[in-house]
Amino acid sequence: MKLVFYNGVNEIGGNKILLEDKNTAVFLDFGKSYKEHTKYFEEFVNPRSVHGLKDYLELDLLPPQISLYREDLLEMYQKEEPKKFQKLNQQKQNIDAVLVSHGHFDHVGYLSFLKETIPVFATKETKDVLETYAVIKPSSLENEILYINFPHSLPAPQRKKKKRNFHLIKNFKPFTMKNLTITPIFIDHSIPGATMYLIQGSKNYLYSGDFRLSEIPLSYLNSIYDFLKKQRIDYFLCEGTRITENIVLSEKDVLEKAIHIAQNVSGLIVADYSLADITRFKTLNQVALLTKRRLALPFNYFAYLAYLKDKKIDVGDFSNVVLYEKKKGNLKKWERELLKKYPYINSQEIRNNQSKYLVILNFYQIQELIDFEPNKDSYFLRAITEPHSEESEISEERFANWIKHFKMQGLTEEGKFERVHISGHISGKELEEFISKIKPDVVIPIHTEHPEEFKKLHKNVKIVEKGETITL
């Protein structure tokens, strides 16, 4: 029995954790580590996809067990780096499955490199999200999650599409993977379809994925506690993104603050939020309704919600939502289809009727403010998390410069954004409650920059390092 932590420890995200027990090997997520990625790359400096695996293996962004990876990518690597290939090929690692906790790219972003035959288990909602991403996100090697374009060495038009081996899971419905019994426990996060996994082999392991308690109905939360109390949790692999924070807020707090702000704005309201976060969309839509505004969404935000709505995912009231037709040189096929199917407005309509709209724009769409011509009566509502890296802090400063230029409201006296946000991650205070309820024997901190803080919550904490293998 062993656990190998390729990524996901002493960092936020990038989870790639290998569990081996009873002759069965499963990966707990296979995500992109943004911490490791940004050591070498930034927005316009990226891994060279024309070389397939080469850059990723050289910079230790992927595990060195090359038997995990797609045949077409291995053939490319063998031709370009025969000596390195031969050396790495001596390390054989067979994988029986990948257990996906949710659809954020720091948990699924490197699935694209794996053999498409490896079974991948996920919720229906996660698969729906990934199908939507496959349409609205730019085509790239890292976005070949549900399908691969094969072989990668050929020009894109000559490649054939292959399906990845996805399996859908159901809440509290155990399934077997060789000699392990695995039970999904659906949980709440800032994206649809998040789940924990209870994995039963020689020992019992609980993998948290990413989660929070604030938006879970008490009756369902108690059912989770009741189920886990009946199990012996030997090892709890537990996320701790916000372990140092003890303030417990809910989306209701976000709604109340946003309404208070919006009711005092006579001009245009512009907001941003994480595209995947349907809970936040519902909040902002409610703000728009209560202040008698229409909610205008650019192509990518609108498509994400419309596609998920078509897949029977609850995205809330869509009657007040309108598509904002951002002027573009060339529209993609899916953008043209949206314009045919849904009513839309342009920048002139927003400019002439600023008090009637709440418009969503992220940093990469902020230039649209030039066409809207907001003024001192307008407000920018920042409904997204604070920056967590030097690069994102620089982007944040640029973002604020746009708001200052148009003399919009929404910045503090220090020039920082007045945020309206709660995290998709559990606070330290709630985590203490969760751990005390389920009573694991050992806690292993993951998805955190402060693993030592767990020692305040539990008497038996095992802190691990990137690349470490622990034998159980």
User: Is 416 a domain residue?
Assistant: no
**351 and 225 belong to one structural domain:** no
**232 and 271 belong to one structural domain:** no
User: Is 415 a domain residue?
Assistant: no
User: Is 410 a domain residue?
Assistant: no
The CATH number that applies at residue 281 is: 3.40.50.10710
Its pTM stands at 0.96
**237 and 261 belong to one structural domain:** no
Nearest to 181 by CA among 18, 24, 16: 24
User: Is 419 a domain residue?
Assistant: no
- End of a domain among 349, 370, 405? 405
User: Is 55 a domain residue?
Assistant: yes
Measured distance CA(388)–CA(185) in Å, rounded: 29
Q: Report the domain count for the chain.
A: 2
Contacts 24+ apart (CB under 8 A), 405-409: 406/369, 406/373, 406/374, 406/375, 406/378, 407/375, 407/376, 408/270, 408/374, 408/375, 408/376, 408/378, 408/379, 408/380, 409/265, 409/376, 409/378, 409/379, 409/380
**292 and 231 belong to one structural domain:** no
Q: Which two tokens stand for residue 179?
A: 């000699």
**239 and 259 belong to one structural domain:** no
User: Is 411 a domain residue?
Assistant: no
Question: 285 with 316: CB under 8 angstroms?
Answer: yes
Measured distance CA(252)–CA(255) in Å, rounded: 5
As beta bridge partners, residue 197 has: 184, 207
**pLDDT confidence of residue 217:** 97
**88 and 223 belong to one structural domain:** yes
As beta bridge partners, residue 183 has: 198
The CATH number that applies at residue 122 is: 3.60.15.10
**400 and 465 belong to one structural domain:** no
- Could you give phi then psi for residue 455, rounded to 5 degrees? -65, -15
**pLDDT confidence of residue 43:** 80
User: Is 59 a domain residue?
Assistant: yes
Three-class SS state of 222: helix
pLDDT tens, position by position, 212-253: 999 999 999 999 999 999 999 999 999 999 999 999 999 999
Residues 432, 435, 438, 440, CA torsion sign: negative
Give the residue ranges of the chain where pLDDT is below 70: 387-394
**43 and 116 belong to one structural domain:** yes
Measured distance CA(451)–CA(238) in Å, rounded: 10
Measured distance CA(25)–CA(20) in Å, rounded: 4
User: Is 363 a domain residue?
Assistant: yes
Show Cβ contacts of residue 373 under 8 Å, excluding neighbours closer than 6 positions: 351, 406
Write b or e for each residue in 201-218: b if 16 or more Cβ atoms lie within 10 A of its Cβ, otherwise e: bebbbbbbbbbbbbebee
**pLDDT confidence of residue 391:** 64
**pLDDT confidence of residue 385:** 86
**113 and 205 belong to one structural domain:** yes
Residue corresponding to tokens 């499963």: 26
Measured distance CA(260)–CA(249) in Å, rounded: 17
What is the extent of the structural domain holding 86? 2-244+425-471
23 Rama sector, left if φ>0, alpha if ψ -120 to 50, beta otherwise: left
**31 and 113 belong to one structural domain:** yes
**315 and 366 belong to one structural domain:** yes
User: Containing H/E element for 180?
Assistant: strand 180-186
**209 and 87 belong to one structural domain:** yes
